[in-house]
């Protein structure tokens, strides 16, 4: 019973303020754990996103191992896109393994998104538009409807592409006007996919997702701190 009440009362561990969500797409647990520990003492506002390559190579236990290694919020980026029953099952496994939030596609529809939100076990982030060129073909034409749909349900976060800051700006405005001013915006695509640090936050995003530019660098902690400072400087207009 106590567990049930705690579940329902779960509030977002991811604060709506500028930061970096570091994509953990490396494929070995040793470097994932090492990086999680290093980020724990890094200067800045960081979250960790566990991607499918890491999870497939190491198992869902990597989430609990990262949980033990750091206090930083952890998002499971399973890009869940299945029928409501299976979407909720995948999300539940991730929450139970220690994830603070999960990432799912909005295009699967309101019933699937609602089923995951109704679990009440942690944050739900929905993908609205993606960073790659293919997103323009099929997601861009429906993204405003997707924003209205997820705003009506009440999700914790949305994914908008740092590679298209104009889209971040437009959809951030729409999100706000649909009552989603508490919803955080996370934007991938920084460095490896061409966006510069700060492009998305200066257009209305909260977190910029950075993967390869951090985990493939010689010193990931330094790289994370440096990119974080660049984002903050851009916001201040330095």
Catalytic residue annotation: 79
Site string for ligand FNU, 61-80 (x = CB under 6 A): ----------------x---
Q: CA-to-CA distance for 238 and 230, rounded, in angstroms?
A: 9
Question: Does 165 engage in binding with ligand FNU (CB under 6 A)?
Answer: no
Rule CB under 6 A: choose which of 35, 47, 91, 130 binds ligand FNU.
Answer: 130
Rule CB under 6 A: choose which of 18, 165, 204, 211 binds ligand FNU.
Answer: 211
Question: Does 31 engage in binding with ligand FNU (CB under 6 A)?
Answer: no
Question: Does 161 engage in binding with ligand FNU (CB under 6 A)?
Answer: yes
Cβ pair 174, 147 in contact under 8 A: yes
Between 161 and 204, name the residue whose CB sits nearer to ligand FNU: 161
Question: Does 94 engage in binding with ligand FNU (CB under 6 A)?
Answer: no
Question: Does 51 engage in binding with ligand FNU (CB under 6 A)?
Answer: yes
Instruction: Provide the token pair at 201.
Output: 């936050």
Instruction: Provide the token pair at 74.
Output: 């952890």
Identify which of 212, 217, 165 has the alpha carbon closest to the alpha carbon of residue 193. 212
Instruction: Provide the token pair at 38.
Output: 């290093």
With contacts defined by CB under 6 A, name the span among 54-62, 127-135, 198-206, 228-236 that binds ligand FNU: 127-135
Q: CA-to-CA distance for 66 and 124, rounded, in angstroms?
A: 19
With contacts defined by CB under 6 A, name the span among 32-40, 57-65, 114-122, 185-193 that binds ligand FNU: 185-193
Between 120 and 229, name the residue whose CB sits nearer to ligand FNU: 229
In the complex, least distance from residue 187 CB atom to ligand FNU, rounded to whole angstroms: 9
Rule CB under 6 A: choose which of 14, 23, 72, 155 binds ligand FNU.
Answer: 23
With contacts defined by CB under 6 A, name the span among 26-34, 62-70, 166-174, 203-211 that binds ligand FNU: 203-211
Q: CA-to-CA distance for 81 and 106, rounded, in angstroms?
A: 8
β-pairing, 101-105 vs 184-187, is unpaired
Distances (CA, A) of 47 to 152, 177, 228: 26, 27, 12
Q: What is the 3-state secondary structure (H, E, C) of 174-212?
A: HHHHCCCCCCEEEECCECCCCECCCCCHHHCCCEEEECH
In the complex, least distance from residue 120 CB atom to ligand FNU, rounded to whole angstroms: 23
Q: CA-to-CA distance for 181 and 191, rounded, in angstroms?
A: 27
Torsion sign (Cα): 164, 21, 61, 219: positive
How many amino acids of this chain bind ligand FNU (CB under 6 A)? 19
Which residues contact ligand FNU by CB under 6 A? Answer: 23, 25, 51, 77, 127, 130-131, 159, 161, 188-190, 192-193, 209-213
């Amino acid at each position: 019973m106590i567990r049930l009440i705690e579940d329902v009362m779960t509030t977002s561990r991811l604060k709506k303020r500028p930061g970096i969500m570091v994509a953990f797409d490396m494929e070995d647990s040793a470097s994932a754990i090492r990086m999680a520990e290093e980020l724990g003492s890094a200067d800045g506002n960081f979250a960790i996103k566990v991607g499918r390559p890491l999870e497939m190579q190491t198992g869902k236990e990597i989430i609990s191992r990262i949980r033990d290694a750091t206090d930083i919020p952890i998002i499971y980026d399973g890009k869940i896109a299945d029928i409501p029953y299976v979407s909720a099952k995948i999300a539940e496994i991730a929450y139970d393994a220690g994830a603070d939030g999960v990432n799912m596609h909005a295009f699967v529809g309101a019933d699937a998104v609602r089923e995951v939100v109704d679990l009440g076990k942690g944050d739900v982030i929905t993908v609205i538009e993606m960073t790659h060129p293919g997103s323009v073909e099929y997601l861009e034409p429906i993204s405003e409807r997707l924003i209205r749909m997820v705003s009506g349900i009440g999700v914790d976060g949305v994914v908008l592409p740092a590679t298209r800051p104009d889209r971040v700006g437009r959809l951030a405005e729409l999100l706000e006007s649909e009552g989603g001013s508490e919803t955080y915006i996370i934007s991938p695509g920084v460095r490896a996919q061409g966006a510069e640090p700060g492009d998305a936050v200066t257009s209305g995003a909260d977190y910029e997702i950075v993967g390869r530019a951090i985990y493939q660098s010689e010193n990931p902690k330094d790289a994370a701190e440096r990119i974080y400072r660049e984002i903050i400087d851009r916001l201040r207009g330095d």
